[in-house]
Copies of this chain bind each other. A is one copy, B any other.
Amino acid sequence: MALSFGIIGAGALGGYYGARLHHAGFETHFVFHNDYAHVKNHGLRVDSIEGDFSIAAPHAWSHIENLPPCDVLCVCLKSTENHLLRDQIAHKVKPGGAVLVLQNGLGIEEELAQWVHPIPVFGGLCFLCSNKVGPGHISHLDYGGMRLGSLESNPPHSLELLSRIAEAFRLAGIDATITDNLAEARWQKLVWNIPFNGLCVILRCTTTQIMQHPAGLALATALMNEVKQASHACHTPVPAGFVEKMLADTLRMTPYLPSMRLDFDRGNPMEIDAIYSQPLARAESFGFAMPLTRMLRDQLLVAQALHNHSKGHHL
């Protein structure tokens, strides 16, 4: 029987992948937050470089409490909100199902695994440029591939389920591949996330504005190389040529505001812990310092404190 999917946090990323799955015929349930009423009335709309489509009546829920159990529970919230799932998430996975974390950063699967044991926890690295441009309205700008991997502590037979999940995404038009080393894949994603999320916040600019200035390119390259060295120190090395590939891919991208920049602009908490502090701590535990990443992390902490402060003044 085909897998059913639950999308917790149906925003720019979760909404996009969920819509693709639904569109391909998979039973897909979406948990919306602010957009619930709008989606119930007007459906879900995806403007995509690969062709626009709409879903008139998606299975929409206003709260995880109401979500029916699914085979694959996709966690697509901001990682800053994961603690809200702690008590409920295990009950929303059907017997034989799994949790799939589609979030950025390090250390997230490990935390969720404690909450849902013995349900297997998978992780997915999404290479997707998408934005929510209105209620229930997602703009898919570029890319969209996904690398899926299994937490080492999962039972070996769960890998069969992971293959079925990847196959489902491929049937939905997503270039989903499987890695046999989730930690390595997460470090690969950090090679992009650490420079561009932070710099686009601190410099109030797009990825393209960074890439087009020689000093911006120097910043991105220096940070990427530091992350690459850290991945080696942690015995989860990114492959040779990966930094160069990420730089080239970013140069080809449509001018883009990473999710951290959007969170910052909206006054939402930024994923500083998962994307910066966890990798810093991991590298430090292997005796490797990341001075540039630490500097950017500290700049983000100050920026977030000042931004929330100034927001407070406006209220």
Number of copies: 2
**Residue from B216, B295, B302 in contact with A302 in the complex, judged by beta carbons closer than 8 Å:** B216
Q: Which residues of chain B have C-beta atoms less than 8 A from A199's C-beta?
A: 299
Secondary structure of the A contact surface, majority rule: helix
In the complex, what residues of B have CB within 8 A of residue A302's CB? 203, 205, 209-210, 213, 215-216, 219
Q: Which of A210, A219, A302 has the most chain B CB atoms inside 10 A of its CB? A: A302
Whole-angstrom CA separation of A295 from B222 in the bound complex: 9
> What residues of chain A have their CB less than 8 Å away from a CB belonging to chain B?
199, 202-205, 209-210, 213-216, 218-219, 222, 291-292, 294-299, 301-303, 305-306
In the complex, the answer to whether B306 meets A203 with C-beta atoms within 8 Å is yes
Closest residue of B by beta carbon distance from A220: B298
Across the two chains, which residue of chain B brings its CB closest to A309?
B209
* A216 (CB) vs chain B CBs: closest residue: B302
Residues of B within 8 A of A202 (CB): 202-203, 299
Whether the pair B291, A222 counts as a contact (CB closer than 8 A) is: yes
Q: Please, how many angstroms separate the alpha-carbon atoms of A219 and B297 in the complex?
A: 10
3 smallest CB-CB distances across A and B, nearest first, come from A215-B301, A215-B298, A216-B302
